[in-house]
Amino acid sequence: IWANSLGSQIAEVQKGNLEATENFLVKIFGESIKNHGDWSDKTTVQSETELKYYTLESHTFTDEKDCLTGSYLRIRDVTREQQEVKKGIYEATHDRLTGLYTREYLYQSISEISQSFHERQYLIVFVDIKNFKIVNDVFGNKFGDYALQCIADWVRRDMSEYCRYGRLVGDTFGICVPESEFSPKEREKELSNFIIRKDNTTYQLLIHLGIYRVAPEDNDVSVMFDRAHLALSTIQDEYKTHIAYYNKEIREKILWNQNISSQLGEAIRTRAVRPYLQPIADRDGHIVGAEALARWIHPEHGFMSPALFIPVFEKNGMIAEVDKHIWRCACEVLSEWQKENRNLFISVNISPKDFYFIDVIAEIKSLVKEFQIPPEILRIEITETVMMTEAENRMQILEDFRRAGFIVEMDDFGSGYSSLNMLKDMPVDVLKIDMKFLGKTDDKDRAETIVKNIIRLSEELGISALTEGVETKEQYQTLSQMGCSLFQGYYFAKPLPVEEFEKLL
């Protein structure tokens, strides 16, 4: 800190407070004299060991005649403060583990270069490590952190000044890169053998890249990454293919899913979504019941195949609303049949997702009570997948159904790999055997032997056997001879509107 009178020499320099060169001091003093007024500035000086930061303030003194009598210049070393500010900014904008940009700062930095989207073609790359939880569970968090650091090194490698990259969240990373700098073949080659080695541990990671080609008009970075992420859905179960591009088909599928999801509430209210009934017959060919299947008569698209909407609602959880509606409609039909003394049952399906969104048993019990029908004529149909999670809890629910008087059916028996184990433990009354089981092999005799013994086994366990997918008279007769007691399939009728089904009775 020093002061001077106009035209005098430097009065004092406190040694140690200012590590500046002589030229620097001369320059600053000259600026002070030149300006003849108050001013402030910032500057940097490169010392032998580090870059120093200084703030500069100049103040002038005048007499009563407004004549300049002197000036005061303060030079302050703010290196430490600047270093703290830089540290704070870095920590706020960079991921602590990997050193890459945080998601928020990555989005911001991409937005800042968005004007370049008109100059060159950019790609947004969503990097996803598949089943990364296994790495942490098996090898521990330290190895998992090391693996993430290796991915980060791979992400930043060979990146030019035109690229932006960061860690999105967890085991996902994001990249914005000019297409001219991205080689799919080279990346595929690298990802096909991405091995992490640390100490005595070796593990091959499965990494997928979802890619969105940026359009000049794009400006929402989060939407671009969403689209890149959606591209991953096309290779989610792939081990040989590691890269997928967002395309028109994916976009149309998303729009379709959003469209029908937004229309479901109205479709249920107007009963455009309704149950179709597929007959279930006994050995004599008499119709004894039906399975209720959801169908949608769309005002614009007409009859919509369930394949167009059921998977969508299974994925987003709206299947619970569909199922509740079908259960209610089935109870209404059963109530009318009871009044007409028609001794028939209806089987209704329960999706695994239903258990996450509604109290299934309370809902169905409430419907039976509301429509005053005996529980045994509203059959509960479940699949193996219902039991894949929370098996003990689901088992208890099925027991509760049976104690309440409902008949429980296991659907698609033979289509999975754990059926026999399920059969051993699950409280079911009816086994639905899928005829597709017979069509999956060229060895028809062997398949028929298996079906015959499944039917025999079910009888010995006190479980009724129902074969679905029966399409010919020959199949019907053969299964009857094997001991099957109930049948369902196109041989009897396809799923029909309630009015047409009733004409068969």
The SS3 of residue 113 is coil
Residue 491 near residue 502 (C-beta atoms within 8 A): no
The SS3 of residue 361 is helix
At residue 435, what are phi and psi to the nearest 5 degrees? -65, -15
**Three-state helix/strand/coil letters over 373-415:** CCHHHEEEEECHHHHCCCHHHHHHHHHHHHHCCCCEEEEEECC
Angle formed by the axes of helices 444-460 and 473-482, to 10°? 50
Residue 224 near residue 246 (C-beta atoms within 8 A): no
Residue 129 near residue 154 (C-beta atoms within 8 A): no
Residue 56: which H helix or E strand, with range?
A: strand 51-62
Bridge partners of 382, per DSSP, are 410
Residue 482 CB coordination number (10 Å): 17
Give residue 253's region: left, alpha or beta (phi > 0; psi -120 to 50): alpha
Nearest-CA neighbor of 77 among 4, 18, 5?
Answer: 18
Three-point CA angle 101, 209, 200, nearest 5°: 80
For the record, the structure tokens of 446 come out as 């062997």
Residue 354 near residue 383 (C-beta atoms within 8 A): no
- Distance CA(273)–CA(266), nearest Å, equals 9
For the record, the structure tokens of 1 come out as 């800190």
* Burial of residue 124, with CB atoms counted within 10 A of its CB: 0-12 exposed, 13-18 middle, 19 or more buried: buried
Residue 441 CB coordination number (10 Å): 11
Q: Which residue type, as a one-letter code, is found at position 325?
A: H
Q: Which residue type, as a one-letter code, is found at position 406?
A: F
Cβ within 8 Å of residue 470, ≥6 positions away:
435, 476, 479, 487, 488, 489, 490, 491, 492
Cα 300 to chain centroid, rounded:
30
- Distance CA(84)–CA(144), nearest Å, equals 31
The residues carrying an active-site annotation are: 468
Count of CA atoms in the C-beta half-sphere (13 A) of 445: 0
* Burial of residue 134, with CB atoms counted within 10 A of its CB: 0-12 exposed, 13-18 middle, 19 or more buried: exposed
